[in-house]
Amino acid sequence: MTRHYLRQFRDGQPVDLLGVNLNRQGVLFDEKVGRINWDFLGTKRYWHYYTLYSEEMPDNYRAFVFLDDWNAGVLRGVIEMVLKEKFPSR
């Protein structure tokens, strides 16, 4: 499943998972926050959940609970692979 979304992203198509939109410019998880450029996207992985946040404004975040959000693991996998490809030394 993650491979499908990665292929879609690499082909230049936007990816939508759990209300999160990924495109070449960045990530949109909240209309009020706006799109976060990949350069400023922060992620944290905890035992039960995964968060996306703006490194410029860490209070702007969205959490995904692995037990409740069935695609949270796929979302994490796609975002982490994109970040690894864009920023290999990070």
Reading the block at residue 33, the tokens are 């926050």
Residues 6+ apart with CB under 8 A from 71: 17, 18
pTM: 0.92
User: 54 falls in which pLDDT band (50, 70, 90)?
Assistant: very high
| Rounded CA separation 59/65 (Å) | 18
Residues 6+ apart with CB under 8 A from 47: none
Query: What is the structure's pLDDT at 1?
Result: 80
> Rounded mean pLDDT of the chain?
96
What is the tally of structural domains in the chain?
Answer: 1
| Rounded CA separation 50/63 (Å) | 6
Domain that holds residue 9: 2-86
**Per-residue pLDDT tens over the stretch 11-48:** 999 999 999 999 999 999 999 999 999 999 999 999 99
